[in-house]
Each structure stands twice: as C-alpha cells, then as structure tokens.
C-alpha cells in the first residue's frame, strides 16, 4: 500500500534570513540531514526577495504552485522566471542565486536530489517512463478524491510508467551516471 504524506500535517519552520518558511515533506534516507540526504521534498512559503541558500552537489527542481511569481537570478547570469502555473524549473544548488518576488507571497514545491541521482517533476498530461525509477510520487495541486488525496498531499506511486493526472505533479528520482 502506498504512503500518503498529508499536506495538513506539515509544520513550517522559518528560514535563517527571515524571507520565508519551509516544511519538509520527506527526506531519504529517513532521518538524514542536509549534509547526507539522497533526496528531499519540501514546500516553501516565500514572503520576500532575497538570496537562496547554496547546496553544493545538489540539483534542484522548483515549482511555484500558488501565489505570486518569482525571478531567480544566478551568479552565472542565468535568469529563470517562475510563474504560479506549475511549470517546474531545474537548476544547480551550487550556483549563487537571488530570488525577486514579483507580486504576492508564494508557495513552491521543491525537489532536491544529490548527484549522481536525477530528479524531475512532470506536469498534468505528461507521460512518465517507468524504467530506472528509484522513487515516484504524486503531488495533488487540488483535492483528488479518486486518489484519496487532499490539496497538497503527496503519495508514493508504484515504480511504473504513469501519465500525470489533471491537478497534479509527478516527482521522480532516477539513478544517474557517475
């Protein structure tokens, strides 16, 4: 039976810089910290502009799921505009980055994966191949009674191919090369 991580049970903790709060959904292996996790899924409330923490060796996928927009400007000149449309954005946790809010406070979904593992977030309608999956999760953007999920719940999925349902995101972790 798959495990459900209910959104209503999440507890947010403030960031050191005071610009937001994070609620960890899961961390693998369980009980691991920032120095030794393989992957971590969390949500964050971003309330003001400011620098992101750096995470050497970590690849990140950030998806704004509600609220305003945010521009990420990286030290290498890359710019990512994150809109509240559920489009996932991938970037290295090593690169210095400053976030600029462009409107209201926002809520984002974060997948952080330590190399050589690979993380991805898929939107509604996408086909997710089942080969080489280490983990697969369904995140409900709205209530999904047919899946037994409420808004912002996360659920384990079988390690098989899946088409992402409406009002959801699918998060995957695969073994990478290296």
Q: How far apart are CA 91 and CA 58, in angstroms?
A: 9
Write out the DSSP string of 94-123. Answer: TS-EEEEEEEEEEEEEEEEEETTSEEEEE-
36 and 84 share a domain? yes
pLDDT of residue 129: 87
Q: How far is CA 28 from the centre of its chain?
A: 14
94 and 28 share a domain? yes
Write out the DSSP string of 14-54. Answer: E-TTSSEEEEEEEEESTT--TTT-SEEEEEEEE-S-EEPPP
pLDDT of residue 1: 60
What is the number of H-type helices and E-type strands within the chain?
0, 15
Domain of residue 26, CATH code: 2.60.120.10
Stretch 50-76: mean pLDDT: 95
50 and 94 share a domain? yes
For the chain, the average pLDDT equals 94
Question: Please, how many CA atoms are within 13 Å of residue 13, restricted to the half-sphere of its CB?
Answer: 5
pLDDT > 60? residue 122: yes
Number of domains making up the chain: 2
pLDDT of residue 112: 98
Please report, rounded to a whole number, the percentage of residues in the chain having pLDDT higher than 70.
99
80 and 168 share a domain? no
110 and 128 share a domain? no
34 and 67 share a domain? yes
9 and 65 share a domain? yes
107 and 150 share a domain? no
What is the domain extent for residue 168?
A: 122-174
107 and 137 share a domain? no
17 and 84 share a domain? yes
Structural domain ending residue among the three candidates 114, 138, 154? 114
Stretch 35-47: mean pLDDT: 96
Stretch 35-60: mean pLDDT: 95
Stretch 130-149: mean pLDDT: 94
pLDDT > 60? residue 62: yes
Q: How many CB atoms lie within 10 A of CB 74?
A: 15
**11: exposed, middle or buried (C-beta count within 10 Å: 0-12, 13-18, 19+)?**
exposed
Structural domain ending residue among the three candidates 62, 87, 114? 114
């Amino acid at each position: 039976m798959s495990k459900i991580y209910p959104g209503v049970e999440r507890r947010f903790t403030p960031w050191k810089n005071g610009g937001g709060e994070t609620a960890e959904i899961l961390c693998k292996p369980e009980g691991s910290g920032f120095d030794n996790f393989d992957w971590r899924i969390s949500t964050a409330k971003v309330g003001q502009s400011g620098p992101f923490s750096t995470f050497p060796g970590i690849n990140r996928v950030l998806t704004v799921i509600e609220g305003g927009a945010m521009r990420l400007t990286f030290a290498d000149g890359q710019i990512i505009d994150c809109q509240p449309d559920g489009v996932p954005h991938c970037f290295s946790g090593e690169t210095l980055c400053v976030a600029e809010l462009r409107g209201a406070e926002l809520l984002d979904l974060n997948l952080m994966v330590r190399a050589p593992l690979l993380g991805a977030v898929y939107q509604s309608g996408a086909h997710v191949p089942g080969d080489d999956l280490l983990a697969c999760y369904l995140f409900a953007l709205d209530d999904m009674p047919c899946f037994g999920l409420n808004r912002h719940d996360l659920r384990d999925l079988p390690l098989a191919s899946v088409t992402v349902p409406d009002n959801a995101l699918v998060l995957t972790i695969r073994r990478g090369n290296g």
